């Protein structure tokens, strides 16, 4: 995969902007991992620039199709307020979707948010 050469710089100079370019080409052809890598690079600032809104866009493309990894990333963006308002209710929706598929990270974060929302409800 091109990622090995461009992003992980095996034998070439690392160029994450170029990696994003190749990932976008792969994503256009339906490569699921490419969508995730684009989102991760944009979210972390390792792509051309840090862009949480664009990262969320790429994660949402797959999350809406039921991809658990993308659903977790959407949950994290909403849970942590990365470029958006913190929204525990929406984060809970996405973590819950991934948790239904058995992902342990999603289950853990779903449970944390459920407990936090329950505590907030009790304190009202």
> Tens digit of pLDDT for each residue in 48-61?
888 999 999 999 99
> Tens digit of pLDDT for each residue in 77-96?
999 999 899 999 999 999 99
Q: Is the pLDDT of residue 3 over 50?
A: no
Buried b (16+ CB within 10 A) or exposed e, 39-63: bbbbbeebbeeebbebbbebbbbbb
Provide the residue ranges of all domains of the chain, joining segments of one domain with +.
1-50, 67-124
- 1 pLDDT band (50/70/90 cuts)? very low
Q: Give the separation between CA 100 and CA 105, rounded to whole angstroms.
A: 11
Find all residues with CB under 8 Å of 97, minimum gap 6, and list them.
Answer: 63, 66, 68, 71, 106
Q: Is the pLDDT of residue 42 over 60?
A: yes
Find all residues with CB under 8 Å of 5, minimum gap 6, and list them.
Answer: 11, 12
Instruction: Report the predicted TM-score, pTM, of the whole model to 2 decimal places.
Output: 0.84
Highest mean pLDDT among 13-22, 39-48, 50-59: 50-59
Q: What string of DSSP letters covers 39-73?
A: HHHHHHT-SSS--HHHHHHHHHHHHTTT-HHHHHH
């Amino acid at each position: 995969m091109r990622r090995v050469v461009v992003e992980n710089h095996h034998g070439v100079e690392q160029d994450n902007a170029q990696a994003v370019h190749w990932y976008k080409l792969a994503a256009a052809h339906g490569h699921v991992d490419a969508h995730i890598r684009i989102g991760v690079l944009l979210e972390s600032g390792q792509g051309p620039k840090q862009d949480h809104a664009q990262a969320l866009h790429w994660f949402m493309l797959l999350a809406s199709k039921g991809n658990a990894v993308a659903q977790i990333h959407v949950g994290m963006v909403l849970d942590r307020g990365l470029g958006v308002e913190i929204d525990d209710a929406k984060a809970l929706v996405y973590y819950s979707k991934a948790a239904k598929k058995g992902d342990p990270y999603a289950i853990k974060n779903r449970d944390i948010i459920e407990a936090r929302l329950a505590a907030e409800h009790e304190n009202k």
